[in-house]
């Protein structure tokens, strides 16, 4: 069994089914998007036990017993997650295809920075917590491409929500 | 993707028993293998999921470290003692792939990832000796800007893509291997083979061999170390050239040095010649240049990748200048 957005679901019989195809085609949760299907674009990003991963490179059977959150799991009772609201307010998208992956990725990213995971642009590897500067956010979100070019709005939306971590 | 049986190994012993099955492959994070299976370049009959292997990252009292095979790349990069003892390893991991991929990928899987040569991936349209031994290589006369200049052969010029392995090569990392007969260990620099006439044989591992851990020997001067990656865009791109280095100075003299290159070799490239040229020499730009030229003396550039010779030399010099306080 695998838990998706709080509901238990049986794993697919065919081990070839990716986690991405499983949530989209088996569970009809089509918020998670298939972009490149080869790990290059980030559109399929979901959270597994709070960690951001690429569901296109994951076989569903690998995640037996784990807890997955997709974009559908972020809003409660029709109330959007603050990041979803911020993406609207800061023009964090045009076509919207990369947006579910961007939002799931940003949630995982903020948790990583909070626990002190350094990035390629962090100057001090010994720092306990990393302030989310613009450079840090761009580096940490570089696994999510936006072909509309809404990156500035995406960064603005993330900074607005994680203001206490931002600088 | 071809059909296969998926088996989750209970532990190391279970994994090595099951790994002996015909055409079985071990599965770590899957970030490379799942992709290759989708392209049908890899078509195992059975996948043995070895995520139950150790994820422990243990610091030895002697300054060494032992990293379990199933530890994720992110876990290594964020480990406080790895950050203190081996900054070049942390920098190399953080320069590779994307955060999502680093959260999935295991350290053992990183060692065994396959080349990103586009001709290797192009099963329908290109010849490749790594994919189909004896077929020929379309990269040698093709678009080879990203390909290797060191360790190449007439059969293959594919670049080893890992950043992490470059730092591990510099550190003299030891790979722990287990199979049904027992355990052994070998240097990371002896794990990967040069392509020669059999580029499909990428490592010295035999069928059923399982990497169980990576050991980092004590290297006190690795606290003065760096990893510099030159690539076409600022993030999430493979290296054109990368340099991992650690330097120990005695006054103005290079007492000891570790140097390895990425993006230019058919395997993670320990720069033995440059190291030998620098030990005991003055830590100045003339020595750095001579060492860089010595390492690249055997480079075999092709139509599109000749720039890598000068780029590698200059990156070596720049990193050594930085580490010795010359910039």
What are phi and psi for residue B24, nearest 5 degrees? -90, 150
- Whether A134 is in a domain gets the answer yes
Whether the predicted pLDDT of B188 surpasses 80: yes
- Whether B189 is in a domain gets the answer no
User: Residues 6 or more apart from B300 whose CB is under 8 A from it?
Assistant: B149, B150, B152
H/E run at residue B258 = strand B253-262
Model confidence pLDDT, tens digit, residues B207-263: 999 999 999 999 999 999 999 999 999 999 999 999 999 999 999 999 999 999 999
Domain range for A101 is 82-161
Model confidence pLDDT, tens digit, residues B7-19: 999 999 999 999 9
Return the SS3 of B210. Answer: strand
Task: Give the model's confidence band at B97: pLDDT under 50 very low, under 70 low, under 90 confident, else very high.
Answer: very high
- Whether B229 is in a domain gets the answer yes
Best residue in A11, A18, A19, A62 to probe B by mutation, most B CBs within 10 Å? A62
Report the C-alpha gap between B300 and B314 in whole angstroms: 17
CATH number at A112 reads 1.10.150.120
Model confidence pLDDT, tens digit, residues A68-93: 999 999 998 889 999 999 999 999 99
Residues A90 and A148 in one domain: yes
What's the distance, Cα to Cα, between the start and end of chain B in Å? Answer: 51
User: Residues 6 or more apart from A105 whose CB is under 8 A from it?
Assistant: A42, A45, A52, A141, A143, A144, B99, B100
- Whether B61 is in a domain gets the answer no
- Whether A59 is in a domain gets the answer yes
Question: What is residue B314's predicted lDDT score, i.e. its pLDDT?
Answer: 98
CATH number at A34 reads 3.10.20.30
Question: What is residue B29's predicted lDDT score, i.e. its pLDDT?
Answer: 98
Please identify, among A73, A98, A117, the residue that sits at the C-terminal boundary of a domain. Answer: A73
- Least Cα separation, residue B237 to chain A (angstroms): 10
Residue of B nearest to A138 (CA): B235
* Average model confidence (pLDDT) across chain B: 97
Q: Which residues of A touch B84 (CB under 8 A)?
A: 125-126
Task: Give the model's confidence band at B270: pLDDT under 50 very low, under 70 low, under 90 confident, else very high.
Answer: very high
Please identify, among A13, A43, A73, the residue that sits at the C-terminal boundary of a domain. Answer: A73
Query: Which 3-state string (H, E, C) describes B233-246?
Result: CCCCCCCCEEEEEE
Whether the predicted pLDDT of B327 surpasses 80: no
CB-based contact B236 A125, cutoff 8 Å = no
Which stretches of chain A score pLDDT less than 70?
167
Report the C-alpha gap between A158 and A167 in whole angstroms: 12
Other beta carbons within 10 angstroms of residue A28's beta carbon come to 8
CB-based contact B38 A38, cutoff 8 Å = yes
Question: What is residue B58's predicted lDDT score, i.e. its pLDDT?
Answer: 98
- Whether B75 is in a domain gets the answer no
Report the C-alpha gap between A32 and A54 in whole angstroms: 10
- Whether B185 is in a domain gets the answer no
Model confidence pLDDT, tens digit, residues B279-323: 999 999 999 999 999 999 999 999 999 999 999 999 999 999 999
Question: What is residue A167's predicted lDDT score, i.e. its pLDDT?
Answer: 64
H/E run at residue B8 = strand B5-8
- Whether A166 is in a domain gets the answer no
Closest CA to B295 of B318, B272, B311: B272
Residues A6 and A44 in one domain: yes
Q: How many domains are there within chain B?
A: 2
Write the ipTM: 0.98
- Least Cα separation, residue B298 to chain A (angstroms): 31
Domain range for B273 is 225-323
Closest CA to A47 of A102, A116, A7, A88: A102
Of B27, B35, B83, the CB nearest to A39: B35
Angle of helix A99-114 relative to helix A82-89, nearest 10 degrees, comes to 120
Residues A68 and A86 in one domain: no
Please identify, among A55, A73, A91, the residue that sits at the C-terminal boundary of a domain. Answer: A73
Give the residues across from B72 on adjacent strands.
B106
Question: What is residue B75's predicted lDDT score, i.e. its pLDDT?
Answer: 98
Residues A154 and A130 in one domain: yes
Whether the predicted pLDDT of B182 surpasses 90: yes
Instruction: Quickly count helices (H) and strands (E) in chain B.
Output: 13, 12
Q: What does each C-alpha distance from A128 to B56, B58, B87 come to in angstroms? A: 21, 20, 15
Q: Span B28-36, mean pLDDT?
A: 98
Residues A89 and A59 in one domain: no
């Amino acid at each position: 069994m695998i838990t998706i957005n709080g509901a238990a679901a049986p794993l697919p019989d065919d081990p070839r089914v990716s986690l991405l195809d499983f949530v989209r085609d088996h569970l009809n949760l089509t918020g998670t998007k298939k972009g490149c299907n080869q790990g290059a674009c980030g559109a399929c990003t979901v959270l597994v036990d709070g960690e951001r991963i690429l569901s296109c490179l994951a076989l569903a059977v690998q995640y037996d017993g784990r807890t997955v959150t997709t974009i559908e799991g972020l809003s409660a009772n029709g109330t959007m997650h603050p990041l979803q609201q911020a993406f609207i307010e800061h023009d964090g998208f045009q076509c919207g295809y990369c947006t579910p992956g961007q939002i799931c990725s940003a949630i995982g990213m903020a948790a990583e920075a909070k626990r002190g995971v350094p990035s390629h642009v962090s100057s001090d590897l010994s720092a306990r917590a990393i302030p989310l500067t613009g450079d840090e956010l761009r580096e940490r979100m570089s696994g999510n491409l936006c072909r509309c070019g809404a990156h500035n709005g995406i960064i603005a939306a993330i900074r607005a929500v994680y203001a206490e971590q931002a600088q | 993707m071809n059909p296969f049986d998926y088996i989750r190994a209970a532990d190391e012993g279970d994994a090595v028993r099951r790994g002996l099955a015909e055409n079985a492959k071990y599965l770590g994070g899957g970030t490379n293998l799942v992709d290759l299976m989708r392209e049908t370049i890899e078509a195992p009959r059975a996948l043995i999921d070895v995520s139950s292997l150790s994820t422990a990252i243990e610091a030895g009292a002697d300054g060494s470290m032992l990293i379990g095979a199933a530890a994720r790349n992110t876990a290594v990069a964020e480990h406080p003692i790895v950050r203190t003892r081996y900054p070049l390893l942390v920098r190399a991991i953080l320069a590779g792939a994307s955060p999502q991929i680093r959260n999935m990928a295991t350290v053992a899987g990183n060692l065994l990832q396959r080349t990103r040569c586009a001709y290797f991936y192009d099963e329908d349209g290109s010849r490749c000796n790594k994919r189909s031994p004896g077929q020929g290589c379309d990269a040698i006369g093709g678009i080879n800007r990203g390909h290797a200049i060191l360790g190449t052969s007439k059969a293959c010029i594919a670049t080893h893509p890992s950043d992490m392995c470059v730092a591990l090569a510099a550190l003299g990392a030891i790979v722990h291997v287990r199979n049904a007969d027992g355990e052994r260990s070998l240097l990371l620099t002896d794990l990967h083979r040069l392509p020669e006439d059999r580029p499909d044989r990428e490592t010295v591992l035999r069928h059923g061999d399982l990497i169980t851990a990576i050991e980092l020997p004590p290297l006190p001067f690795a606290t003065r170390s760096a990893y510099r990656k030159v690539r076409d865009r600022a993030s999430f791109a493979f290296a054109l050239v990368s340099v991992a280095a650690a330097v120990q100075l005695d006054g103005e003299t290079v007492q000891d040095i570790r140097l390895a290159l990425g993006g230019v070799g058919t395997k993670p490239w320990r720069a033995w010649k440059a190291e030998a040229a620098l030990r005991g020499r003055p830590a100045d730009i003339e020595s750095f240049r001579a060492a860089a030229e010595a390492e690249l003396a055997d480079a075999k550039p092709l139509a599109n990748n000749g720039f890598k010779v000068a780029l590698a030399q200059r990156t070596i010099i720049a990193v050594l200048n930085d580490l010795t306080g010359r910039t």
